[in-house]
Amino acid sequence: MQFARASLLSPSLMHETEESNLVAKSKIGEAEAFAKLVECYRDRIVNLAFQLLGNKDDAEDAAQETFLLAFEHLSDFRSEAQFSTWLYRIAINTCKMKLRQRKPVEPLPDDYELFEGVNWHEVEERILKKWQVDKVLARLPENLRLILVLREMHELSYDEIAQVLSIPIGTVRSRLFEARKKFAQIWQELFG
Amino acid sequence: MQCKKAQKLLSLWLDGMLAEKDEQVLLAHLQNCENCRKVWHQWEQMRAMLRSYPSITPSPNFDRKVLSRLKTPKAPSSPIPSHWLTNPAFRLTSSAIGGLVVMGLTLLMLMLPVQEQTKPSEQMHHWQWRVLGREVVQWLDFELRGEPKWQGGSSSSSSLLPSRSSRC
C-alpha cells in the first residue's frame, strides 16, 4: 500500500460551468465526458471509501460501484445540487451496503507492499496510528463516524455536510460536538 | 459559563464557525478552566490524527475498469430463463409444440372451402340502387296520394332517405 498523500484537500476542482457541461454530456451517455468526472473525483471517492471501509480492495470496489451507479442514475441528478455532494451521497450509501454485507472482522493494516527506500519506523508509526484510528472509528455510531470523516478528513463545510447527509445545519453542529466528545472518550478508554 | 456550553462553542471554534462575541466569551472561559483546555488539546490532537490518516492512490487501471463497465451494454432480459434454453426436456417439448402448431395450421387451410372473390363495392352498388329506387317510388306515392305505401317495408333506420321528421 502506498502512503502518498492524495490530493483530498486540494482537488483539481474544475470550474462549475465545465463540470455542468460534463454532467450534461454524461447524461446523454457520452462516456468521454464522464471519464473526466471520474478522473476529477476518483481520489476523493476512493479515499472516502478507504476511510469508511478500512482496506484498499473494498475501497476500490466501492468507488467503482459509486461511479457506475452515478452514471446509471445521472438522470436523477438535479443541476441545482452540487455534483460532488451527490457523488459523496452515493459513495456513502455504497459503503454502508458493503459494511452491512461484511462479516464482523477488524480491519487489519497488513495489506501494504514491501518495497525498498522506505523509512520503516515512519511506516510502522503511520500503520499504528491508522490502526488506532480505525479502532476508535469502528466503535463510534455510524452517524458520528460519518460526520467526523466528512469534516476532519475531507474538510467539507457545514453546508456541504448538511447536503451530503440530508440533515439540517443545526444537526451538523450538534452531531460534530457529540462525535468529538465520543471519539476522545473512546480513545481515552482504549489507549489512555 | 458552564463547561458543556463552552465545549459546544469550542467545537464551532475549531471549525471557524464561531461568532466573534462568542469567541471572546470562550477564550475567557478557557483561560480559567483547565478541564476545557484539556478537552481543547485532545480535540486538536484528534484532528491532527484524523487528518494524517493515510490516503491511498487508486490503482492505475481504476478509470479503465470503470469505463469498460460503463460501455458494456446490459443484456436484454429474456422472458425465458437462460438455463431453460439449454435444458434438453425444454427444447424437446418446445420443438414438439412448434411442430403441432404448424401441422394444425396447414390442416385448417386445407379444410377451409375456397370462396370466389367477389367485388364488395359492386354488390353494395346494386343493393343501394334497389333500396333507393323502392323508397323513392313509395315516397312519390305518399306525396301524390297522401297515403303511405311502405308499411311492412324496410325500417326507417335502414332507409337511405331522410327520416320523416327531418324532411319538413
Final residue of a structural domain among A72, A105, A138: A105
Q: Is A45 found in the same domain as A16?
A: yes
Q: Which member of B12, B55, B70 has the closest CB to residue A6?
A: B55
Does residue A12 share a domain with residue A99?
yes
Q: In terms of domains, do A43 and A101 share one?
A: yes
The CATH number of the domain holding residue A38 is 1.10.1740.10
Asked if residue A86 is part of any domain, the answer here is: yes
**A64/A126 same-domain check:** no
Nearest-Cα residue of chain B relative to residue A9: B51
Which tens digits make up the pLDDT trace of A81-126?
889 999 999 999 999 999 888 765 555 455 544 445 556 667 677 7
Q: Helices A56-72 & A31-53, crossing angle to 10 degrees?
A: 140
Give CA separation, A117 vs A2, A109, A120, A122, B103, in Å: 13, 20, 9, 12, 81
Task: Clarify whether residues A125 and A188 are in a common domain.
Answer: yes
Instruction: Tell me if A129 and B52 make a contact (CB, 8 A cut-off).
Output: yes
Average pLDDT of the segment spanning A31-56 = 93
* B49/A132 Cβ within 8 A: yes
Same domain, residue pair A68 and A17: yes
Which of A105, A135, A154 is a domain's end point?
A: A105
Q: Which residue has the cell 464561531?
A: B18
Look up residue A41 and give its three cell numbers.
473525483
Q: For the purposes of burial, counting CB atoms within 10 Å of the CB of A143, is it exposed (0-12), middle (13-18) or buried (19 or more)?
A: middle
Chain A CA closest to residue B41 = A184
DSSP A92-152: HHHHHHHHHHS-S----S--PPP-SS--HHHHHHHHHHHHHHHHHHHHS-HHHHHHHIIII
A149 and A61, same structural domain? no
Q: Which three cell numbers stand for residue A15?
A: 470550474
Helix (H) / strand (E) containing A172:
helix A169-191
Residue A87 located in a structural domain: yes
Asked if A105 has any chain B CB less than 8 Å from its own CB, the reply is no
Nearest to A86 by CA among A152, A27, A30: A27
Contacts of A139 (CB under 8 A, 6+ apart): A186
Closest chain B C-alpha to A95 CA, distance in angstroms: 16
Q: By residue range, what is the domain housing residue A133?
A: 117-192
- Residue A111 placed within a domain: no
Same domain, A5 and A96: yes
Q: How confident is the model at residue B112 (pLDDT cuts 50, 70, 90)?
A: confident
- C-alpha grid cell for residue A133? 484510528
Q: Which residues of B touch A (CB under 8 A)?
A: 7-8, 11-12, 15, 17, 39, 42-43, 46-47, 49-59, 62-63, 65-67, 69-71
The pLDDT of residue B153 is 41
A127 and A89 co-located in one domain: no
Q: Are residues A18 and A100 in the same domain?
A: yes
Same domain, A47 and A99: yes
Q: How far is CA B120 from CA B79, B123, B124, B126, B131, in A?
A: 44, 5, 6, 10, 17
Size of interface A-B (CB pairs under 8 A): 99
Which among A3, A35, A177 has CB closest to B63? A35
Pick from A126, A137, A127: nearest CA to A180: A137
CA neighbor of B131 nearest in space, from B149, B95, B158, B91: B158
Question: Is the CB of residue A73 less than 8 Å away from at least one CB of chain B?
Answer: no
Domain closes at, from A62, A81, A105: A105
User: Where exactly are the structural domains of chain B?
Assistant: 3-51
Instruction: Say how many C-beta atoms besides its own lie within 10 A of residue B26's C-beta.
Output: 22
Query: Which residues are CB-neighbours of A93 under 8 A, at least 6 positions away?
Result: none
Length of chain A: 192
Q: Residue A73: inside a domain, yes or no?
A: yes
pLDDT exceeding 90 applies to what percent of chain B? 37
Residue B86 is given by DSSP the state T
- Substitution target in A152, A169, A183 with the highest count of B β-carbons within 10 Å is A152
Q: Which of B7, B16, B46, B18 is nearest to A152 (CA)?
A: B46
**For chain A, what is the domain count?**
2
pLDDT at B15: 94
Place of cell 492505475: B60
Report how far residue A5's alpha carbon sits from residue B56's, in angstroms, rounded to the nearest whole number.
7
pLDDT digits (tens, 9 = 90+) for B27-78: 999 999 999 999 999 999 999 999 989 889 999 999 999 999 885 434 444 5
Q: Supply the ipTM of this predicted assembly.
A: 0.78
In a shared domain, residues A92 and A12: yes
Per-residue pLDDT reduced to its tens digit, B128-159: 666 677 776 676 666 656 544 444 444 434 44
Please answer yes or no on whether A47 and B55 come within 8 Å at the CB atom: yes
